[in-house]
Structure 1
C-alpha cells in the first residue's frame, strides 16, 4: 500500500509539472510572437516549436527526478522547495540548450528565456498550492488510514518515524503492541503501547485498524506464525518489516526476482538511466573541458619537459569502480626515480618534487590529463578520489565501509575535495563525505561540485 500510494502521489506531481511546463511553453511562444516584442526573422513554424515542447516534456521531468523533486520530504520548507525548483529549472534549461544545439539549427533564444521564467513561476506556484492543500487535508484528519505496529523496539520506532515523515500519504499509527508486558502504557515516539502481542484480536475488535505492520526483532520471530494464524482470519492488510536494517550498508531494499521477494542488503547506487545520464554528463563536460584547457595543457606539458628530465605524463595504477584498476594520467611532478624505494604518500616539502612540480600540485594543474581518463570511461568527473591499491588494503582493514566508495567510478573532484579534505587529511572524514555523495547523488549535485571546483575548490593548503 505504501509503494502504491507513493507512486500515485508521485504521478500526480509529474502530471502537474508537465501541465505547467506545457502551459509555460505556450505562453512563452505567445508572448514572444504576439507583437509585444519586435520579430525580425519571422515567426518559426509551430511544428518546430512542437518538437521543442516534446523535448521540454522529457528533459525537465527527468531533471526534476534526478534532483529528487519527486521524492517525499516533509522536512523541506517552502523556501527550500522554491530553491530546488529554481536550481532544477536552470539545469534542465542548460541541458535543453545543449540538446537543441545538436539536433536543430534554429530556435528563438528569447522564447527560451521567457519560457524559463514562466516555467519556474508556474511549477513553483503549482507545488506550493499542492503542499498547502495536502497539509490542510491531513491537518483536518481527512482520509487517514490507521496502522497498528506490532513491536515496540528500535524497529517499531523506525516504522513510526517513517510514517510521520510521509504524512502526505495519509497514514497514522494508532497504537503499538509489545512482547514485553512491562512496556504497556509507555510511549514510542508519542504513540502509546496499548497491549501485548497476544492481545492482537482484542485490539482489532475494539479499534478501527486498516493495516498491521509486524516490526519484531529477529529474536521475536517465533511469534510470527501465531500472529499470522490470527490475522489470516481478518481483512486487515498485513506488512512485515524485517529486522535486517543493521546489516544494510548502501542502497539496500526489497527486490523481486521471478516472483521471489529478495531483500537487498547492499546494492548499486547507479543503475539503468541514472548510469546512462551520468556517463552522458561525463562525456559532454569532459569534451568541453578538454577544448577549454587544451592551451593550458600544452603549456604545462612544455614546462614539464623543459624543467626536468623524463616524460611529460606520469601513469600510476589506481583502483576504481568495482575494484578494477586503471592507469591514471597526470603531468609528472616528481623526479623519475621518486619511488625506487617503494610506494610513498606525498608530504609537505616533499624532496622528490621537480622544480615546477610544487606549482602544478598547488593549483591542481597536474590533474588536467585525467579528463582523458573520464573520456575513456576509467573515471567520472565527480566521485571519490581514486587511491593506489597498495594503500587500499590497509584502509579496508582500518575503516568500516571503506570498500563502498568503489561502488561508483572514481572522480577528478568530489564532495570531500571541495570541502577541503585533500592530501594528508583525515581519511575517515573523507570516507564519510564520499559515502554521503554516493547516497545523495544527482546530476544537479555533480554540477554543483564542478562549479565549486572551478571557483577554487581545488585550491587547498593540503595540496602538495
Structure 2
C-alpha cells in the first residue's frame, strides 16, 4: 500500500473534503491517495481539483483507476445517493468518513478519522433471509387482519367522509423516496402542512375513532402493503418525510447513516420507547446500533417485543 496507494475520490463539501484529503496525504500509511473532490461548488482554497459535473467525475474515475470513494459529510448519502450507487456498481468501495470526530477504537480508522463501509444497493449478508421474513409475515398478517382493515375503512368512511387512505412521501433506503400508506386519522390543511407539521397526536378535533386508531396503532396496518411491495421492511429505522430528513441530517450526527438499511414499521428505537415527540439523537443512535449489529434473530426478537407492546398501546 505504501508503494502503490489506492486512488480515491472524496465526496462532500469542498472545505471538509480538502481537510480530509490533506490528512490522508500526510499519512500515506493509510494506503489511500486522494486524486479529486466531488462537490457542488469549489471553495477557492486550492488543493485537489474539485469536480462538479458528471463528465468530470467519470473522467477522473477512468484516468486514475479509482476504486475507493470516501464521503465526508452525513448528508452526502442522501444528496448524492444516485452518484454513490453508480460508483458502487462500477466496482468502487464507498466509505463514510467522520470528518468532525476522532477515531473510535471500535470503528475502522483512516488517517485518524472514524470510517465505515457503506452498502450502496448491494445485498448485505442475510438480506435474502430478511426479505423472506418480510414477505412471509406481511402476507400472513394481511390475510389475518383483512376483516379488521375492512372494518376500519368502513368506520372511517362513516365518521370522516371520503378518503380513508393517507398517502405521504417518505425517504427510504439510500435516500430513495416512496409513498407510505396509513389510515387517515387527520386531514391537513394543505400539502405543505402535511409535509412539515411534526405531530398531530394531541389534535382535540380528531374524531373519537381516529384517536382510537392512533392509540392502538391500527392506522399503521396498511404499511404491511409497503413491506410486501418492498418499499419497507418489518424491522428497521422508521421512515421520515423529506423536509425533516434534510433538517435532522444537518443537525444530528449519524442521522443520515440510518438510511443504509431498509426502513421499517418497527425497530430497536421503537421498542425502547422512542416514538412520537422523543429525542431524534437517541433514535439515530439506536437505529445505527441496530444496523451495525443486525441479525435475523434480532429482527424476530424486535417483532415479538413489538407484538407484546401492542397489548398496552401508548399511541404514536
TM-score of the two chains, using structure 1 as the length reference:
0.43
Aligned to 1:413: 266
CA drift at 1:333: 0.3
- Does residue 1:275 correspond to 2:127, yes or no? yes
Q: 1:320-362 CA deviation, whole Å, 9 max, x = no partner?
A: 0000010100001013646565621114421453331111011
Aligned to 2:252: 399
Aligned to 2:50: none
CA drift at 1:404: 0.6
CA RMSD of aligned residues (A): 3.4
* Aligned with 1:359 (options 195, 198, 212): 212
> By percentage of residues, which structure has more strand?
2
**Where does the alignment leave 5 or more consecutive residues of structure 1 unmatched?**
1-216, 225-243, 255-262
Find the aligned partners of 2:144 and 2:106 in 1 and give their Cα distance: 37
Find the aligned partners of 1:459 and 1:405 in 2 and give their Cα distance: 28
Aligned to 1:422: 275
Question: Structure 1 residues 372, 249: CA separation in 2 closer, same or farther (over 3 Å shift)?
Answer: farther
Task: Give runs of aligned pairs for residues 188-227 of structure 1, distance below 5 A.
Answer: none
Aligned to 1:298: 150
CA drift at 1:251: 8.3
Contact 2:135 2:228 (C-alpha < 8 Å) held by counterparts: yes
Find the aligned partners of 2:178 and 2:309 in 1 and give their Cα distance: 27
Aligned to 1:331: 183
Find the aligned partners of 2:106 and 2:205 in 1 and give their Cα distance: 39
> By percentage of residues, which structure has more helix?
1
Q: 1:248-307 CA deviation, whole Å, 9 max, x = no partner?
A: 8998699xxxxxxxx974322973552211111111111111111111111111111111
- Does residue 1:316 correspond to 2:152, yes or no? no
3-state SS in 2 of match to 1:381: strand
* Aligned with 1:431 (options 273, 284, 308): 284
CA drift at 1:377: 0.3
TM-score of the two chains, using structure 2 as the length reference:
0.62
3-state SS in 1 of match to 2:244: helix
Find the aligned partners of 2:128 and 2:163 in 1 and give their Cα distance: 35
Contact 1:253 1:264 (C-alpha < 8 Å) held by counterparts: yes
Find the aligned partners of 1:268 and 1:418 in 2 and give their Cα distance: 25
Aligned to 2:236: 383
Q: 1:11-55 CA deviation, whole Å, 9 max, x = no partner?
A: xxxxxxxxxxxxxxxxxxxxxxxxxxxxxxxxxxxxxxxxxxxxx
Find the aligned partners of 1:386 and 1:221 in 2 and give their Cα distance: 39
Aligned to 1:350: 203
Task: Give runs of aligned pairs for residues 59-458 of structure 1, distance below 5 A.
Answer: 246=102, 265-268=116-119, 271-335=123-187, 337=189, 341=193, 343-351=196-204, 353-456=206-309
Contact 1:420 1:457 (C-alpha < 8 Å) held by counterparts: no
Question: Structure 1 residues 341, 408: CA separation in 2 closer, same or farther (over 3 Å shift)?
Answer: closer
Matched residues, number? 220
Q: 1:409-459 CA deviation, whole Å, 9 max, x = no partner?
A: 110111111111100011111111111110111110000011111111585
Question: Structure 1 residues 393, 352: CA separation in 2 closer, same or farther (over 3 Å shift)?
Answer: farther
Contact 1:305 1:311 (C-alpha < 8 Å) held by counterparts: yes
Structure label with greater radius of gyration? 1
299-308 vs 337-346, which deviates more? Answer: 337-346
3-state SS in 2 of match to 1:405: helix
Contact 1:308 1:335 (C-alpha < 8 Å) held by counterparts: no
Find the aligned partners of 1:372 and 1:222 in 2 and give their Cα distance: 50
